[in-house]
Amino acid sequence: MHKRQRKLAPIKHKELSKEQLSRNSYLTVERNKCGSKLETLTKMAISHGKNVEGHLGLPQFWRKRARFSDLMTLWNPSSYMEIGFNAGHSSALALSNSRNLERYLAFDIGVHPYVKPNFEWLKRQFPSVKHAELVIGDSTKTVPAKHQENLKFDFIHIDGGHQEGIAYLDLVNCKNYAHNKTLVIMDDCILHVNAQALPAHMHGPNNAVRKAINQGLMEEVCLGYVDCEHTVLRYM
């Protein structure tokens, strides 16, 4: 005697919010462009010790990575400079989303043992970048010293020391590397939010950017990315 087959209830697909759909969509694009580079950089950093500084590859920063990647793709710089290489996650995004990048210059204070090996590994992943260099040391000294070579960059990303004085000097010193169309991103900076509502690590960069704008050194480039903890600027 055959057993009566039991009817299975139809599978209900879990409904995703617009936020989840957006996140899943971006992460798919990220995997296609970056492959496993972000994950590899994280593993390499961890392998050198337990103290891995906060970085753009962390899961909660997916929206920030999306905006950063969009900006790199739209601007498509041929040269990219960064203060605060750390483990290399933001550099990996920049290199992966710039089709014509030829020159890449990174500065880092070098306190973490993973900085140099991560840079060398990342450099090997992008052989088409003809000039790639890492400068180790205090950016308030190394950035002005390096300018003797008279280099100019299309895109500058500043994520160095978060004390107001250091962040401000980085903004001032980077002007020598900018031409009239250079875009600058200051990380951990949101100008259009009540300063009292910001976490402590954002006070320094915010104050530095406000000072630079008030002094006529820079102006904000309004792109509507107020939720991403970075501000886009250009020199006046």
Residue 147 has pLDDT above 80, yes or no: yes
Convert the pLDDT of each residue in 180-233 to its tens digit.
999 999 998 888 777 777 878 889 999 999 999 999 999 998 655 555 678 899
Non-local (6+) Cβ contacts of 14 within 8 A are: none
Provide the H-helix boundaries in the chain: 18-34, 37-47, 62-75, 89-96, 115-125, 139-146, 164-174, 203-214
pLDDT at 213: 96
Are the beta carbons of 228 and 63 closer than 8 angstroms? yes
pLDDT at 227: 56
Convert the pLDDT of each residue in 32-67 to its tens digit.
678 789 889 989 999 987 677 767 677 777 778 888
Mean pLDDT value across the chain: 85
Are the beta carbons of 208 and 179 closer than 8 angstroms? no
Alpha-carbon distances of 199 from 165, 204, 215, rounded to whole Å: 18, 10, 25
Q: How far apart are CA 184 and CA 162, in angstroms?
A: 16
pLDDT at 225: 52
pLDDT at 74: 86
Sign of the torsion formed by the C-alpha atoms of 58, 210, 174 and 203: negative
Of the candidate ranges 32-41, 94-103, 138-147, the one whose mean pLDDT is the lowest: 32-41
Q: Answer with the residue of higher pLDDT: 59 or 127.
A: 127
| Region 15-31 average pLDDT | 62
Non-local (6+) Cβ contacts of 145 within 8 A are: none
Domains, the chain: 58-235 (3.40.50.150)
Q: How far apart are CA 217 and CA 171, in angstroms?
A: 9
pLDDT at 102: 96
Residue 103 has pLDDT above 70, yes or no: yes
| Region 96-100 average pLDDT | 91
Alpha-carbon distances of 146 from 99, 104, 106, 107, 184, rounded to whole Å: 26, 13, 11, 10, 18
Q: How far apart are CA 196 and CA 189, in angstroms?
A: 13
pLDDT at 27: 67
pLDDT at 69: 86
Q: Which residue has the tokens 């014509």?
A: 100
Residue 11 has pLDDT above 60, yes or no: no
Residue 48 φ then ψ, to 5°: -95, 0
